[in-house]
């Protein structure tokens, strides 16, 4: 499945849920149970998988292809949610996570992101770099499963603007930052601008 056939899948973050030794279990990202809309195809699904898949994105794409081939539509968010449930329930230690308040790298990455938007030659390229860095951190060994899911949803609903002005790029970053700070007072754009860009 390619980005041309399924852009939503390609925009989704790849989950790196960690286990006790930061390794996926030998079952990989095999999605065992089909969504309720396709339960009648469970036997066919079980026999269709040859090898465990080592990334969430590949597992999601494989399942979506199987469902599409059988004329069944399931929301992508449901596939993600169900696969995470199946991954975490048998061994909750796979999904242990930092809380949002305890992400040890968050403040430094936020400061770096704002520094990258001080005077970039290409605001779009700067945002791409910022998003790639944050996505890697959120999905990494010091990340947070719930944060990664929230971040993927934010990027799906509010993708990086194509050709933003510097002001538009800064507003996009501050807006995404505020959306990730659930139950906290939003950061004022003017306050951020005074701190980092003046």
Q: Distance between CA atoms of 173 and 114, rounded to whole angstroms? A: 8
Residue 9: per-residue pLDDT: 59
Contact criterion met (CB below 8 Å) for 163 and 124: yes
Q: Distance between CA atoms of 18 and 140, rounded to whole angstroms? A: 8
Binned at pLDDT 50, 70 and 90, residue 27 comes out as: low
* pLDDT tens, residue by residue, 141-179: 677 777 787 888 889 999 999 999 999 999 999 999 988
What average pLDDT does this structure show over 100-121? 86
Domain boundaries, the chain: 7-95, 100-196
Binned at pLDDT 50, 70 and 90, residue 4 comes out as: very low
Query: What's the pTM value of the predicted model, to 2 decimals?
Result: 0.53
What average pLDDT does this structure show over 78-95? 72
């Amino acid at each position: 499945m390619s980005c041309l056939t399924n852009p939503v899948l390609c925009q989704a973050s790849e989950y790196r849920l960690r286990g006790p030794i930061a390794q996926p279990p030998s079952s990989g990202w095999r999605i065992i149970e089909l969504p309720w809309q396709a339960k009648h195809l469970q036997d066919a699904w079980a026999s269709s998988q040859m090898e465990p898949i080592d990334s969430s994105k590949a597992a999601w794409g494989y399942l979506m292809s199987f469902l599409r081939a059988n004329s069944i539509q399931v929301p992508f968010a449901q596939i993600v949610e169900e696969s995470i449930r199946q991954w975490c329930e048998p061994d909750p230690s796979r999904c242990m996570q930092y809380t949002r308040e305890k992400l040890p790298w968050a403040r430094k990455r936020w400061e770096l992101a704002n520094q990258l938007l001080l005077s970039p030659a290409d605001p779009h390229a700067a945002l791409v770099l910022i998003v790639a860095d944050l996505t890697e951190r959120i999905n990494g060994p010091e990340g947070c499963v719930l944060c990664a899911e929230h971040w993927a949803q934010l990027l799906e609903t509010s993708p990086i603007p194509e050709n933003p002005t510097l002001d538009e790029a800064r507003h996009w970053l501050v807006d995404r930052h505020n959306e990730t700070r659930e139950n906290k007072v939003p950061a004022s754009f003017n306050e951020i601008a005074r701190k980092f860009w003046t």
